[in-house]
Structure 1
Amino acid sequence: MKQLVFLALCSLLASCNDTADDDAEQPSSEPTALYRVTFEATWSAATHPGNYPAGAHFSPLIGVSHTHDAGASLFQPSLPASPGIKNMAELGNNTALRTEINTLIAQGKAFRLLDGRTATASPGSLTDTIRLSQTHSALSVVTMIAPSPDWFAALTVHDLFTGRSWAATRRIPAVFYDAGTDSGPDYTSADQPTTPVGVVREVNSLAPPLGYFVLERIK
């Protein structure tokens, strides 16, 4: 009789341990997270002497939370820019890019739009918020470098959700890109449409970066 009681007790303890292990394996994070996105524009005559145009500024931020699929991002290096990226990079106009992002959302490839409405002189800063989900945990944000032929600064980050938790904060250097749509060689060059159209490419000749993206989880 004592042996039966002992075996039953062991079985109960094993069952409890299995339940505890099962609970431990479940993701503890919220299904979505809200982030504050701040672009710290550090581009100035002090940081880039001899390479700083009069009236230097950045256009309003625009971005999207999306899946990790290549077709869900706003642009892809080594491929031609979309009409939305072209207009953003050449004119600081986000109308077409906003439409492209809303199409990605309708297709399920993207989750939320970040749609800033103000520009900033550089040095300066731009701030907005965007929500991500566990299935749309990548984030892309762009802003025109102005004045310029077709250059823009961008953030692309894919790992804000690690599988069990959301990143608390990140500070990431902005990457400088050429959209491949205008061949002007300098910030204030006259329009020189690229024919045939080129591809988006990263520009590595500038150091330090023109700014930093700061991501802070706020909810």
Structure 2
Amino acid sequence: MKQHWMLILSALLAGCAESGDDDQAPAPDTTALYRVTFEASWSATTHPGSYPVGAHFSPLIGASHGHDADAGLFRATAPASLGIKNMAELGNNTALRSEINTLIAQGKAFRLLDGRTATASPGALTDTIRLSRSHPALTVVTMIAPSPDWFAALEVHDLLTTTGWAATRRIPATFYDAGTDSGPDYTSPDQPTTPVGVVRAVSNSAPPVGYFVLERIK
């Protein structure tokens, strides 16, 4: 009889444990793969009077990274790195690619997004990148061309929430001045800034030059 009651008690305790587990939200996947699309909307219609001939955007480049201040590709109010300078002035991603790979080697970044094609504006650029629980932030940049040292950027830090990875996001691109060239217009000749300034958001760029669309695909 005693053994019979012990079996019943064990079954009840197991049922309570299972019920408690059901009340807990499942842990989010360790990683998530996102499709990143930059919808370039910059045109003579959206920006009359300032839209230059040959307007385009350079290939996308970016990284998934952690939240530490030194894990991103740039920081507003701080001087631009050589990689950001060359991307913003020339559309050349060689130095920035190297900087991102260094961040990955240091464990500060997780994956590199390395687009290889440019687009006229209006137009679109698409690539994919994987994020992880420890590297849930994402920064992507592209040169606004022609321009002295201006670029469009995506900076998002909340794709992973307490309920899991976000399914989709559509985020206006932020217009930045890299602080390395003082030309006032899109087609101004080179005017290197001396001493070098800091990266700053340009507030008079409304409407945005484009939108970043993020879609979780895995």
Alignment check: 8 A CA contact 1:27 1:163 kept = no
Q: Deviations over 1:110-145 (max 9, x none)?
A: 000000000000000000000011111100000000
Structure 1 equivalent of residue 145 of structure 2: 146
User: Is it true that 1:187 corresponds to 2:175 in the alignment?
Assistant: no
User: Is it true that 1:115 corresponds to 2:150 in the alignment?
Assistant: no
User: Is it true that 1:84 corresponds to 2:109 in the alignment?
Assistant: no
Q: Deviations over 1:178-201 (max 9, x none)?
A: 000000000000000000000000
Structure 2 equivalent of residue 40 of structure 1: 39
SS in 1 for 2:184: coil
User: Is it true that 1:103 corresponds to 2:102 in the alignment?
Assistant: yes
Supply the distance in 2 between the matched residues of 1:135 and 1:41 (Cα, whole angstroms): 30
Supply the distance in 2 between the matched residues of 1:118 and 1:110 (Cα, whole angstroms): 23
Supply the distance in 2 between the matched residues of 1:20 and 1:64 (Cα, whole angstroms): 41
Identity fraction in percent: 76
Amino acid paired to 1:158: H
Does 121-130 or 162-171 show the bigger shift?
162-171
Supply the distance in 2 between the matched residues of 1:13 and 1:201 (Cα, whole angstroms): 62
Supply the distance in 2 between the matched residues of 1:9 and 1:41 (Cα, whole angstroms): 66
SS in 1 for 2:212: strand
Supply the distance in 2 between the matched residues of 1:11 and 1:175 (Cα, whole angstroms): 59
- Displacement of 1:11: 6.2
State TM-score, norm by structure 2: 0.94
- Displacement of 1:207: 1.1
SS in 2 for 1:77: coil
Supply the distance in 1 between the matched residues of 2:123 and 2:196 (Cα, whole angstroms): 32
Structure 1: 5+ residue runs without aligned partners?
Answer: none
Structure 2: 5+ residue runs without aligned partners?
Answer: none
Supply the distance in 2 between the matched residues of 1:67 and 1:214 (Cα, whole angstroms): 20
Supply the distance in 2 between the matched residues of 1:18 and 1:185 (Cα, whole angstroms): 67
RMSD: 1.8
- Displacement of 1:206: 1.6
Supply the distance in 2 between the matched residues of 1:22 and 1:104 (Cα, whole angstroms): 38
CA gap 1:211/1:190 in 2 versus in 1, 3 angstroms: same
- Displacement of 1:27: 3.5
Supply the distance in 2 between the matched residues of 1:190 and 1:27 (Cα, whole angstroms): 56
